[in-house]
């Protein structure tokens, strides 16, 4: 009789453990489903935000387009600045070249006028 009571008690303990495991598995599954739901909602919000960023609907966010135009403008400004520097450098070289030619001309002996007879 004691053995039957002990076996019955062991079965009850096992059933309680099984019930707890089932409950924990159920709670874990519910938590996973909540997380997946939040993730799906976040993805929808991100997609909605991306679509709102593309007013002209060319699948390129308008902020990216604006940034590209800004960068293109900066590149053009840099090219113009480089061209100005190049022109200034060429002008300086030409001035120095002219001054050098003038100095060389001053240093050359002038031909004497032929003596009058």
Kindly report the number of other CB atoms within 10 A of residue 65's CB atom: 15
pLDDT at position 43 is 84
Please report whether residue 2 resides in a domain: no
Quote the pLDDT of residue 33: 92
Same domain (yes/no): 38, 65: no
User: Residue 40's pLDDT is what?
Assistant: 87
**42 and 68 inside one domain:** no
pLDDT over 80 (residue 66): no
Statement to judge: residues 47 and 63 lie in one domain: no
pLDDT digits (tens, 9 = 90+) for 74-111: 999 999 999 999 999 999 999 999 999 888 888 877 76
Does residue 107 lie in a domain region?
A: no
Residue 5 included in any domain: no
Q: Which two tokens stand for residue 66?
A: 């604006």
The range of the structural domain enclosing residue 35 comes to: 11-52
67 has pLDDT over 60? yes
At residue 115, does pLDDT exceed 60?
Answer: no
Q: Is the pLDDT of residue 73 over 80?
A: yes
Contact call for residues 61 and 54 (beta carbons, < 8 A): yes
pLDDT digits (tens, 9 = 90+) for 12-45: 989 999 999 999 999 999 999 999 988 888 888 8
Same domain (yes/no): 71, 47 = no
Residues 45 and 25 in one domain: yes
């Amino acid at each position: 009789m004691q053995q039957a009571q002990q076996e019955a008690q062991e079965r009850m303990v096992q059933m309680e453990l099984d019930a707890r495991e089932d409950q924990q598995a159920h709670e874990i599954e519910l938590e996973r489903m909540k997380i997946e739901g939040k993730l799906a909602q976040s993805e929808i919000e991100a997609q909605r935000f991306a679509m709102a960023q593309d007013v002209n609907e060319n699948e390129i966010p308008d902020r990216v387009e604006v940034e590209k135009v800004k960068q293109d403008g900066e590149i053009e400004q840099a090219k113009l600045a480089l061209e100005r520097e190049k022109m200034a450098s060429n002008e300086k070289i030409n001035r120095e070249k002219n001054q050098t030619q003038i100095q060389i001309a001053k240093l050359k002996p002038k031909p004497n006028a032929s003596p009058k007879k």
